Homo-oligomer: A and B are copies of this chain.
Amino acid sequence: MRGVSVIGVGCTPFGKQTGVGITDLALQACREALHDAQVPTSLVQSFYLGNFASEALVHQGSLAPIVAYRLGLGPIPCTRVEGACASSGIAFRHGVLLIASGLCDIVLAAGVEKMTSAETGAVTEALASAGDAESEMRLGLTFPGTFGIIMRRHMHQYGTTREQVGMVSVKNRQNGSANPKAHFQKPVALEEVMGSRLICDPLRLYDCTPISDGAAAAVLCAADLASEFTQRPIDVIGSGHAIGPATLFEMADLTTFEASVAAAQQAYREAGIAPRDIDVAEVHDCFTIAEITAIEDLGFVEKGKGGPAVADGLTALDGKLPINPSGGLLSKGHPVGATGLAQIYEIVGQLRGEAINQVKGAQIGLAHNLGGTGAVSTVHILKRR
């Protein structure tokens, strides 16, 4: 297989972006990534766009060709991919596949979601469509519900405390307070998390990600050609993509997402490394409890030890394994289709040594993207040269 590198990244601010349409959001991130890579549009051979629900949210389908044509990409293959909240992790992976297999030299991958212009009810309905509409979602079990049940089970099974879970929010909001692109840039204290409005017991307001607009993009290039464009290519050394059950009733263990475990194993195997080799990670903290299950599923800590790990500072910025130095989804917001590539944007920044909350000496980083209640996951491992 041919080596693959990231040679450029772009990301819009996340949050409520009034007066900017979904096409313009995507264009902004793509242009930033192409500029960062110093790659002219004429060299891009394929384009992947991750998006979750633009037909339902902004009445726009066919988004890949529309964005690509406006970008001036020419008559190349352009594809929108969707895997709920993992949509742009999947877009990034397709760039990796096409270059690794020798089909392309340069691929542009982007992700976008425009959520705040839709009515709240429409957003709730669209988000619920990431679950199984024919079973659980029909019964009213939306995502705060599924993750509330998962949190309750984790507390029961492993003695995880409400405080430990709340500290994920405290840590990520602290990290996000330095991130000018984050939706929320204000830290919160543990008492504020514990006292915030109840959303779905035991989840409270500050355990949840907000509804945001945003886009992110990356330019991928064959590793052997990367030095023609940049002096600091970041190599993709592992890529995993797997599915799991989309419903709670099909999960063998409510505290583990099989898709994350399988995608991580695939990525570690390809990279030839172990979880302990990771210096920094962006994981899918759509709810506080999701960060705890993620660091367990990714093998950073033993199953059930995620709560104490957070409380003990293992995952803090100055801890042994900093998790979500960007502030994570809890701070940045979660424009669904953009999230996976925003994680790549952060990890690339970390490995270039120019991130906002720079992890000192970071050599290897990991990005973990999750769709639905574990229906699909992607894991990517990146390394500086």
A97: contacting residue among B56, B103, B245, CB under 8 A: B103
Closest residue to A378 on the B side, CB-wise?
B77
Q: Which of B21, B60, B100, B371 contacts A129 (CB 8 A)?
A: B60
Q: Does A241 contact B (CB under 8 A)?
A: yes
A75–B134 CB distance below 8 A = no
Whether A62 sits at the interface, judged by CB under 8 Å, is yes
- A84: chain B residues within 8 A (beta carbon): 61-62
Assess whether A73 is interfacial by the CB under 8 Å rule.
yes
Contact between A62 and B259, CB atoms less than 8 A apart: no
| Residue numbers in B under 8 Å from A241 (CB-CB) | 77, 79
CA distance A246 to B126 in the complex (A): 25
Whether A69 and B243, one on each chain, are in contact in the complex, defined by CB atoms closer than 8 angstroms, is yes
Q: Does residue A43 face the partner (Cβ distance < 8 Å to B)?
A: no
* Chain B residues positioned under 8 Å from A93 (CB to CB): 77
Query: Measured between alpha carbons, how far is A246 from B69 in the docked complex, in Å?
Result: 8
Residue from the list B80, B98, B372 in contact with A62, Cβ < 8 A: B372
> Digit string of A72-86 for contact with B (CB within 8 Å is 1, else 0)?
010111111111100
Q: Using CB atoms, name the residue of chain B closest to A93.
A: B77
Q: Mark A81-120, 1 if CB is under 8 A from B, else 0.
A: 1111000001001100110111100000000000000000
User: B376 to A133, Cβ gap below 8 A?
Assistant: no
Q: Complex: how many Å from CA A242 to CA B78?
A: 7
Separation in Å of the A41 CB from the closest CB of chain B? 13
Please tell me if A55 contacts chain B, counting CB pairs below 8 Å. yes
Question: What is the CB-to-nearest-CB distance from A124 to chain B, in angstroms, rounded to a whole number?
Answer: 11
Our pick among B61, B76, B250 for the contact of A130 (Cβ within 8 Å) is: B61
Q: List which A154-198 residues lie within 8 A (CB) of chain B.
A: none
Closest residue of B by beta carbon distance from A128: B59
CB distance from A354 to the nearest CB of B (A): 32
The contact of A81 among B79, B133, B250, by CB within 8 Å, is B79
A201 within 8 A of B: no
Chain B CB within 8 A of A23 CB: yes
Asked whether any CB of chain B lies closer than 8 Å to the CB of A258, the reply is: yes
Assembly CA distance A372 to B66 (angstroms): 10
| A133→B90 contact, CB < 8 A | no
Q: A62-B375, A129-B55 are in contact. Are A69 and B101 (CB under 8 A)?
A: no
Choose among B82, B97, B262 the residue that contacts A82 (Cβ–Cβ < 8 A). B82
Q: With an 8 A cutoff between CB atoms, is A68 at the interface?
A: yes
Which of chain B's residues has its CB closest to A23's CB? B134
**Nearest-CB distance from A22 to chain B (Å)?**
8
Starting from the known contacts A59-B133, A66-B246, A97-B101, 11 additional A-B residue pairs (CB-CB under 8 Å) come to A52-B61, A53-B61, A60-B132, A64-B82, A68-B243, A76-B243, A77-B242, A79-B82, A79-B94, A100-B103, A101-B103
Residue pairs across A and B with Cβ atoms less than 8 A apart, 25 shown, are A23-B134, A56-B56, A59-B129, A59-B133, A62-B83, A62-B246, A62-B371, A65-B246, A65-B259, A65-B371, A66-B246, A66-B375, A69-B243, A69-B244, A73-B243, A75-B242, A77-B93, A77-B241, A78-B243, A79-B82, A80-B82, A80-B83, A81-B82, A100-B103, A101-B102
Q: Which A positions have Cβ atoms within 8 angstroms of B?
A: 21, 23, 52-56, 58-62, 64-66, 68-69, 73, 75-84, 90, 93-94, 97-98, 100-103, 125-126, 128-134, 137, 241-246, 250, 258-259, 262, 371-372, 375-376
